[in-house]
A = this chain, B = another copy of it.
Amino acid sequence: MDSPLIVVNFKTYAQGTGEAAVGIATACRDVAEEAGVTIGVAPQLCDIYRVSSQVDVPVYAQHVDGVSPGSNTGHVMASCVQQAGAVGSLINHSERRLNLADIEASVRAARAEGLTTIVCTNNIPTTAAAAALDPEYVAVEPPELIGTGVPVSQADPDVVRGSVEAVKKINPDVQVLCGAGISRGEDLIAAMELGSVGVLLASGIVKAEDPRSALEDLVSQL
Q: Point out residues on A near B: beta carbons under 8 Å.
A: 9, 11-14, 17-19, 42, 44-50, 61-63, 67-77, 79-81, 83-84, 86, 90, 92-104, 108, 121-123, 125-126, 128-134, 146-147, 166, 170, 202-203
Q: Quickly give the copy total for this chain.
A: 4
Min C-beta distance of A63 to chain B, whole Å: 3
Contact of B71 with A146 in the complex, beta carbons under 8 Å = yes
Which one of B61, B90, B92 contacts A99 once the chains associate, using CB atoms below 8 Å? B92
Min C-beta distance of A15 to chain B, whole Å: 8
Contact of A96 with B74 in the complex, beta carbons under 8 Å = yes
Which of A75, A132, A147 has its CB near the most chain B CB atoms (within 10 A)?
A132
Which of A73, A97, A123, A146 has its CB near the most chain B CB atoms (within 10 A)?
A73
**A74-B90, A97-B101 known; 8 other A-B pairs, CB under 8 Å?**
A11-B71, A18-B79, A46-B46, A46-B48, A46-B84, A73-B93, A75-B96, A108-B125
Min C-beta distance of A129 to chain B, whole Å: 4
Question: Inside 8 A of A128's CB, which chain B residues have their CB?
Answer: 132-133
Contact of B100 with A121 in the complex, beta carbons under 8 Å = yes
Question: Inside 8 A of A202's CB, which chain B residues have their CB?
Answer: 71, 73
Min C-beta distance of A162 to chain B, whole Å: 13
Which of A102, A128, A202 has its CB near the most chain B CB atoms (within 10 A)?
A128
4 smallest A-B Cβ distances: which pairs?
Answer: A74-B96, A63-B74, A18-B83, A97-B99
Which one of B48, B95, B125 contacts A104 once the chains associate, using CB atoms below 8 Å? B125
Which one of B46, B79, B99 contacts A14 once the chains associate, using CB atoms below 8 Å? B79
Contact of A67 with B12 in the complex, beta carbons under 8 Å = yes
